[in-house]
């Protein structure tokens, strides 16, 4: 049941890390909201504080990852923005 190396090759393509970081940030923030809404009644104050800080650190880490990924692909991002600005409307 092993996966071949080529099945994960999409991760190494330029620009993919930006999308992966963005999706991870969205999923992490959404998971916090869902988890808190469904389990708030069952959590003690100490566990709730621990859970809050764990997700704060997780969201902060994924936000830093997103900024780093965008910085790594800065030329590609600026090129895409430039191409979208050069579209002529008639």
Section 55-77 average pLDDT? 87
| Angstrom distance (rounded) from CA 56 to CA 28 | 10
75 three-state secondary structure:
helix
Q: pLDDT for 4-50, tens place per residue?
A: 556 656 555 666 778 888 999 999 999 999 999 899 889 899 999 99
Contact 36, 51 (CB under 8 A): yes
Residue 69 has pLDDT above 80, yes or no: yes
- CA 62, chain centre distance (Å): 6
- For residue 82, name the pLDDT band (cuts at 50, 70, 90): confident
Q: Which distant-in-sequence residues (6+ apart) come within 8 Å of 11 by Cβ?
A: 17, 20
């Amino acid at each position: 049941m092993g996966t071949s190396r080529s099945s994960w090759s999409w991760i190494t393509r330029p620009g993919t890390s930006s999308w992966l970081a963005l999706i991870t940030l969205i999923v992490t923030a959404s998971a916090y909201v869902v988890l808190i809404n469904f389990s708030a009644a069952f959590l003690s104050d100490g566990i709730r504080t621990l859970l809050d800080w764990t997700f704060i650190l997780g969201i902060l880490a994924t936000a830093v990852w997103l900024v780093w990924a965008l910085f790594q692909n800065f030329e590609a991002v600026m090129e895409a923005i430039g191409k979208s600005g050069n579209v002529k409307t008639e």
